[in-house]
Amino acid sequence: MKRILILAGCLMALAACNKKEEPAKEAFAFRISPVLTKVSATSFDKGDAIGVNVYRTGAVHAQNARLTYDGSVFSGDLKWYTEEGKAVVAAYYPYSATAPEEFSVQADQTAGTSSSDFVSGVKYDVTPSEDAVVVPFKHKLSHVVVSLINETNGVISGFALSGVKLNAKLNADWEAAEDPSAAKGTVKAHKAGEDEYDLILPPQTSSVTAVVTLADGKELSQSLDENTFEAGKEYTLNVIVEPDAIYVVLSGDIEDWEEGGEIAPSSVLVEKLADGYILYHEDKYTVALMQDGKWWMTQNMRYVPEGLEPSNELTDVTAGVFYPLVVNAGQTAAEFSRDITVIKARGYLYQAEVALGLQVGDLTSVEEAEALEGTRGICPKGWHVPTGADIIGLVGKAVSPLQNNPDAPYFDGANGSIALLNEDGFNMEAYGAISIQDNTKTAGTFMGFMAAYPDRLASGMFCGSTYAGVTYNTKDDPDSGVKNLQFFGFMPMTNKASEADFTCNGTKVSYRIAAPLRCVRDSE
């Protein structure tokens, strides 16, 4: 504000010294038509008031004039005149009797965030007329959206951020900046939905603490690393609430808030190995340290890479990701399921190239396939798609050319044993797969249902990263192009009457087959 106010003072003094009698001018009511997406709604609310400056070279027409919104435009007693020529119009919200040089958000925003939302806009080269001036208002503070995942049996009654500055400095253009001297406090958030809160913060770089309050009065908190909240930006806090702790992942800096940009999923990894889980892409996966000495996911991946959409069509042979399979209600066949509880329990089905971090069609040679052994793929940082060595080291048995390992901890003397795996929390079953034999096929088939065991899927495959074989369009002729590539993966089988006889061995998996994925942690 200071630059505008100093200019305004000088110009007003000059105008007073040279005041002369002038003929009557044609007057128009000064009106502003706002362009804005507010926090509380898609427009200003009726009765909202803004402060307006109107100035031009050699004159100041208005300083901090109050205009009120009637549901369509802002207007008041202010008038202007055609003869005065082009002007600069600057406006801000909410109105203050004294043009503000700072702004404070409310510490208690539980009733809503509107009163803590400071916005402003400037329009240049405006010619006076009876038409309303269209001013593009922009958010000048930071918007924080809080997404909660309640893993407790209780009710969440509130959310707050502590250790935050409540005051912002405003410069001459009504842009907000961090106030170095501002005291820190706590902001209670507004409940925006069943599992969502939001709040407004001044721009700042701070180490804040997330605080969740349960209905019984219990408070759970977690300190965040230092983060920067920029003016006009929106951020998401993804909070998983456990009975005795909370875990927070910040999805930072997206598109300008006023443009309503989509918030990209966070790929931040939080490992809570001692507690038996990790957080990845805002999702929680259970993990276990198995007797092979390695940490394994004990749930299937349910992450959809950016740019892909899960398919439930067998003709989408290059979809990359498919919905999970279940036995249909009549127990006569397998079918896709889009039920969120099924997805959480069974994960998605991935074609090998996607599981390995590529796009369908990227692999065109044996050399490229061999180079992917142990790759991270879509696994968390520090984890990888299982190798042939991982598979043999865990279950002991696989097809040739892998050599069986009778000393593997979950080898029962004949096969890899699902019963032994699950005794240690591996949570393995047959999840089925989409069989697409090679890249010449135009449709897949469901794999997993057996009429002899109608109550469950009785077979399946899992993705792996060790190259296992190739076929070419013309037999044994690499120059004819790759028809199919294979990788070593798991093959769980529950086609037995007794669970004690269920098996999980290594097998070759064609790269266009869509199968579940579990990741294994890199050796330290």
Ordered DSSP codes for 115-178? GG--EEEEEEEEPP-SSPEEEE-EE-SEEEEEEEEE-SSS-EEEEEEEEEE-EEEE-TT--EEE
Does residue 220 or residue 265 have the better pLDDT?
220
Task: Please identify, in words, the CATH class of the domain defined by 2-139.
Answer: mainly beta
Does residue 466 or residue 83 have the better pLDDT?
466
Structure tokens at 50: 């803004």
3-state secondary structure of 345: helix
Q: Is the pLDDT of residue 418 over 90?
A: yes
Topology match between the domains 2-139 and 142-284? yes
pLDDT digits (tens, 9 = 90+) for 226-238: 788 988 888 888 8
What does the longest C-alpha to C-alpha distance in the chain come to? 110
Q: What is the pLDDT of residue 18?
A: 40
Please spell the DSSP secondary structure of 177-210, one letter per residue: EE-TTPPEEEEEPEEEETTEEEEEE-SEEE--EE
Does residue 349 or residue 28 have the better pLDDT?
349
Structure tokens at 189: 């958030």
Q: Is the pLDDT of residue 253 over 70?
A: no
Does residue 23 or residue 183 have the better pLDDT?
183
Q: Is the pLDDT of residue 484 over 90?
A: yes
Mean pLDDT of 317-342: 96
pLDDT digits (tens, 9 = 90+) for 452-461: 999 999 999 9
Residues 6+ positions from 402 with CB-CB distance below 8 Å: 388, 391, 392, 488, 506
Cβ pair 76, 97 in contact under 8 A = no
Residue 270: pLDDT band (50, 70, 90) is confident
Does residue 87 or residue 350 have the better pLDDT?
350
Mean pLDDT of 104-111: 96
Q: What is the pLDDT of residue 127?
A: 86
State the Cα–Cα distance between residues 17 and 21, nearest whole angstrom.
Answer: 13
Residue 4: pLDDT band (50, 70, 90) is very low
Angle 510-328-318 from CA coordinates, rounded to 5°: 30
pLDDT digits (tens, 9 = 90+) for 125-158: 888 888 888 888 888 999 998 988 888 888 999 9
Residue 246: pLDDT band (50, 70, 90) is low
Mean pLDDT of 96-111: 94
Q: What is the pLDDT of residue 477?
A: 96
Q: Is the pLDDT of residue 430 over 50?
A: yes
Q: What is the pLDDT of residue 251?
A: 44
Mean pLDDT of 481-486: 97
Q: What is the pLDDT of residue 266?
A: 42
Q: Phi first, then psi: what are they for 500, rounded to 5°?
A: -65, -20
pLDDT digits (tens, 9 = 90+) for 377-395: 999 989 999 999 999 999 9
| Length of the chain counted residue by residue | 524
Cβ pair 449, 442 in contact under 8 A = no
In the chain, domain spans: 2-139, 142-284, 292-521
Residue 86: pLDDT band (50, 70, 90) is confident
Q: Is the pLDDT of residue 256 over 60?
A: no
Structure tokens at 422: 């699950």
Residues 6+ positions from 158 with CB-CB distance below 8 Å: 110, 188, 189, 191, 212, 213
Residue 36: pLDDT band (50, 70, 90) is low
User: Please, what sign has the CA dihedral across residues 247, 253, 256, 261?
Assistant: negative
State the Cα–Cα distance between residues 351 and 510, nearest whole angstrom.
Answer: 9
Q: Is 291 exposed, middle or buried (0-12, 13-18, 19+ CB in 10 A)?
A: middle
Q: What is the pLDDT of residue 5?
A: 34
Q: Does domain 142-284 match CATH 2.60.40.2630? A: yes
Q: How many C-beta atoms surround the C-beta of residue 51 within 10 A?
A: 23
Q: What is the pLDDT of residue 207?
A: 87
Q: Is the pLDDT of residue 267 over 70?
A: no
Residue 10: pLDDT band (50, 70, 90) is very low
